[in-house]
Amino acid sequence: MKKTFLLFLIFGAFQADLLGQQDPQFTHYMFNTLYYNPAYAGVEGVTKFTAIHRSQWLGYQPTFGGGGAPTTQVISFSTPIYKIKSGFGAYVINDRLGPQNNLEAQASYAYHLSVKGSKLSFGLKAGLYSQTINFNLYRPIDQNDPVLKSSGKESQVRPDLALGVFFQREKYYAGISLNHLVKSTFDFGLSQRNALEPHLYVTGGYFYEVNFDLRLQFSTLIKSDLTKTTIDLGSIAYYKDTMWGGLSFRQSEAVILMLGYSLLKDKSLKLGYGLDYVIKDQDAKQPTSHEFLLTYQLPVNPASSKKVVRTPRYRH
């Protein structure tokens, strides 16, 4: 096997073993549902922008070469389309893994059905998935290997497709989606191929109102590449819908602390922070990962839906 591709496979296997998948992971998965499930587009009934930056294993340095610790950024947008009972969403994600950089641009459409006070959505996501390899960051084992004579960066772009279903009531929600249905391959001129494997995501959550000021959210995310499955479990307490704090656990990887605060008079701007503390294989990583969340919700257009009247008894 050619040495460069062997190194590529080793790095990919290392990452897959840690995450149980090729896709990036997020501490704030409960605020980033559109990334996992296209059926979530427009479900909230408001136009919302979300941005997340993740620095994984902050301070990690490779034993040779460059690239440093993995980092991920995502910017997403979601809005309802009331006239056709639908929703639209889109996101761009940049995922840097040492010598490899993954870039996605995806658009989602969801059709919403009202079912006895609930909302059932069916979604489709289509877009482009790009992989870039920086060959300068590899250390050659065989200096005469012809593949290692490549230098600089090489990129390939492939189509991507996903399907999803999402169900929501006032106090609970659940969704399932299947990503990378096209199973695109990236070969970079080599006989071996690195394929995007299908990924299954199952999301769920429940809201419990302790009193008018305090609300609890329990959430889960199940991730599977149909070979290995991992589970995230989390709980968040919201106080007056102004500030929140919570704990989460990522199976066989980390325990997590989350904090957040809502700004502006209408609480439309929200800031969040997540701290992951690694509990497994610390010798191969740095112990902490850091994630920052920013969301902004546009004011509701009175002409687009019925006005919401809040009373001490009914909050929705």
Candidates 119, 111, 46; CA nearest to 304 is 46
Indicate whether 70 belongs to any domain: yes
**H or E stretch covering 121:** strand 118-134
Average pLDDT per 10 consecutive residues for the chain, totaling 316 residues: 36 39 89 97 96 87 68 97 96 91 97 93 97 79 65 87 96 96 82 79 97 96 92 96 96 93 94 93 76 94 50 42
Indicate whether 312 belongs to any domain: no
Indicate whether 68 belongs to any domain: yes
Amino acid 301: pLDDT: 65
When divided into structural domains, the chain yields a total of: 1
Indicate whether 201 belongs to any domain: yes
276: alpha, beta or left, given left = phi > 0 and alpha = psi -120 to 50? beta
Burial 73-92 (b: 16+ CB within 10 A, else e): bbebbbbbbeeeebbbbbbe
How do strand 172-179 and strand 153-168 relate by DSSP bridges? antiparallel
Amino acid 62: pLDDT: 66
Indicate whether 310 belongs to any domain: no
For residue 188, the SS3 value is coil
Amino acid 150: pLDDT: 62
Say if residues 220 and 233 touch (Cβ distance below 8 Å).
yes
Indicate whether 250 belongs to any domain: yes
Indicate which CATH number applies to the domain containing 117: 2.40.160.40
Indicate whether 307 belongs to any domain: no
Domain span at residue 217? 3-297
Indicate whether 308 belongs to any domain: no
